[in-house]
Structure 1
Amino acid sequence: MKKQDMDWTPAQLPSGRHGLSREFVMNSQRTRLLGAAIVIAGAEGYAGMTVSAVIAKAGVSRKTFYEFFSDREDIFLAAFDLVVERALDGCRAAYEQEGSWTERLRRVLEQGLTALAEHPHEARMGFVEVLAAGPRALQRRDAAMREFMQFLAPGYDAAAERDGAERIPPLMPEAIVGAIFEIVYARVLQERTAELPELLEQLMYCALAPFLGPAEAAAEAAVGGERRRAARRKSA
């Protein structure tokens, strides 16, 4: 069983009398359904994420499925929300650690890229298959992108210290997040998700340059790149 399956899909409950509460059973069933949806969407695409495929993988009945979800779009949206919540929780935890804004932003990017590389099913669902799941899914994607913009807002303060904030348009965080999402999308689509952590230095530069200028952005980005190279040399 793949790591993604184990992360998201708990073992089936024993049949017959088991003494477990109804709430526990329902939570387990719903979690198995969501985990199955994530794995199937990531492996087979939204087109392959049928209700039949989901219930077969989750090991629950069709009746149980419809107790939680109205159709496959409904479960896709719920699973997408879960993936986004998990990603944001990890990024927020990284961002809330002490350090300068650039250090905290570096941790956010490193956390996000590493998590995507370790969970390719989630990456494919969140960046590729969401585009095939209809207008409601696109609205959820747009909302998720807005959440990630919060990490860039302090860039205006950093720019103000260099008398450059007034030259930066208000949509700059939207442009940066949009560019990063597009770059990640392309790698995931090409099944190069494992390579995402290697983009940390370049994406740091892209995120910082509008606020700090090219020279300082390059210097800050290089710090993270050198740390990764040193870590690889140490583990080799």
Structure 2
Amino acid sequence: MEAAAGEGGGGNGTLSELYQNTKKVVIRTRDAVERLERLEYSSGSIGMDSPELSFSITKDITHIQSLCVEMDRLCRSLPSKSHRDLWKRKVEQVAEEAESLKQSLDKYSLRNQKRMMEAKERAELLGRANGDSHVLRIFDEEAQAKQSARNSARMLEEASSTGEAILSAMSGSRERLKKAHRKALDVLNTVGLSNSVLRLIERRHRVDNWIKYAGMISTLIIVFIMWRWTR
């Protein structure tokens, strides 16, 4: 019994020491991951990479996982079930922390690969742009020529529409002038006819006056002759 208890106590002490050492590695690895993430955004959108730091973090995570395996083996050898359950939960928490650190490192690696690929694509595009600058300039000049032709065609269409509107207005004015001319001729003709009638009336009036005066004179002469004969 005493031998069994001594063995259990020694295992518990070894497990506690191993757990404390593992927690120190976890804290060190978490600080390294945070430093790596700060370094990622230290140069704006381009970011920086530290292969040495990434490798050190990977090595520490692997070490933590191996320590968790060793602690799990030791906690299984504990004689007390309550102690086994307690240490099992502690080991599981450390294993979860190691997995979380591994996921953070994997996400960083994916972001870094994406940045490297985008930088490579930009460099290739810039290289092609520099090599094809003459072709692009030709395309640009051709596009400008097409735009100028479209602008000229639109200006011609507007000028044609304006000319048609002016001709239509002139045609309408010409018709109105013709109508006014015809009315003026009608008025002139009417005035000419009225003048002829007035002259005819005036001539008839003068003739009537002559006849009237002649009759009066003739009557006076006849009366005078009759008066002379009666004496």
TM-score relative to the length of structure 2 = 0.30
TM-score relative to the length of structure 1 = 0.30
- Report which of the two structures shows the higher radius of gyration computed on alpha carbons: 2
